[in-house]
Structure 1
Amino acid sequence: MDAYLLDPLLDRFIHEDLEHGDITTDAIFTDKDQSHAYFTAREPLVAAGMAKVAWPIFSKLNPKTTYGRVLQDGKHADKGDILLELIGPTRALLRGERVALNLVQRLCGIATLTAAFVAAIDGLDVKIVDTRKTTPGLRMLEKYAVRVGGGSNHRFSLSDGVMIKDNHIAACGSITDAVKRVRRQVPHTINIEVETDTMAQVEECLACRVGVIMLDNMDTKTMEEAVKLIDGRAVIEASGGVSLDTVRAIAETGVDVISVGGLTHSAPACDIGMDWC
């Protein structure tokens, strides 16, 4: 993550929760009070964002806040393990608690689910990637968590690459015409990906010499046929309804990439608590 882009995000998250102050904490504690606390895993998880996301929130609230023990991103934690040790002004720790927990619970959930998908295809030459189905405002953080879990990133935005989808094709009339129009407008350095759901569309993509062919919501038998037909002439991405139960069978068809929207739109938040010492 780019710290330049992350910094204003964290500022907005803090402002949303703190707004005009923490009236409870400010009434009970003074600036002189100091405390010691831990972020603790309450279930097995893959750590994500402890030093890069959680701690900076507390540091922004008071630069005198420090951290001791920290579980590095991508490391597995068991229930009861310490993820982050915090030492600093009591007011800062209490003010930042909920914002920091909200974020790392979300990021750990994504990293943990991604790691499960990556483990399910162990030994096969295929990548697990995310999609743009992310929480508004959290895309950079959520896509970072996918990488922490061992996955890779698809497009970050609509400007990252050409992807001609079903609605583009329907509105334009054909894959061939859509590809021709794109090639007239975009630089040669930008690859073209086309979404297909039939073998006829795959054949049309090959005739157009597109760089990436997405096999969308195809059954594994059809995917195998498409992989044989493409025969290395394009990168092959499988997408649509991928689950932990089906991902290995999809990977075994010979596709190069499997995109999973559920990594970000359906990952359950991990249970993490902030415990006082």
Structure 2
Amino acid sequence: MKFRPCIDLHEGKVKQIVGETLHSNRVAENFVSAFDSTYYASLFKRDRLSGGHVIMLGPDNERAALAALETYPNGLQIGGGIHLDNAEKYLQAGATHVIVTSFIFRDGQLHKQNLLDLIQLVGKENLVIDLSCKEKNGRWYVVTNQWNTFSDFEVNEENIKYLEQYCDEFLIHAVDVEGKQSGIQQTLVQQLAQWTTIPTTYAGGARSLSDLQLFRNISNSKLDITVGSALDIFGGTQSYDEIVAYHRSINRVQHN
């Protein structure tokens, strides 16, 4: 299990927001940082936290995103509006992977040709598929259009196995709890741990060190996790340094 850091960008600033409100006229902001993206990239580089993600939430974030990648080359992934015309640029700028959702999920369906075109351009080894999902009738479905539109693509064992052929990692946001500090979506975590065989990062609801310990137990250390709004570096109460120390301690144990 790894702790994966995040840099969420909105209107060029580092923020923590409630993702479900992105489509509205009044975005719910949990935190707006006085520091720019390079501050956080430098912090994560200092602490040797690899595989974190920079997410561009809407327009006017490219400059801040590129600055973060330049600060921590080969240490961060990038997502948000990734498509054929810009994917290579971000990899050349220092991203290890591009993260994609909407480009491959259009009109409520998986567009396989778009996925294949992206693989041909950047390679499977540089691609992360973001399966941001919400619960409906006891099942999980990918949501797009700033998490506002349900697709017909169910996140289940069969579909996970299918998509594993086409990417290097998964990033899975539990949209129902994302940004709300209400605790992790335990059922989804348990199912993902059973279904996935490639590196998979879970995001959504983690608010404390005890949540990370619970996450580690119910995922059998198989999944990685990201924490956002709860961290003190993003205006929360959970010590970032404590999470980093925990990450180091469990990974020392796992490697011994």
Q: TM-score, normalised by structure 2?
A: 0.45
Structure (1 or 2) with the larger CA radius of gyration: 1
Q: TM-score, normalised by structure 1?
A: 0.42
Higher relative contact order (CA 8 A, sep 6+): 1
Bigger fraction of residues in helix = 1
Bigger fraction of residues in strand = 2
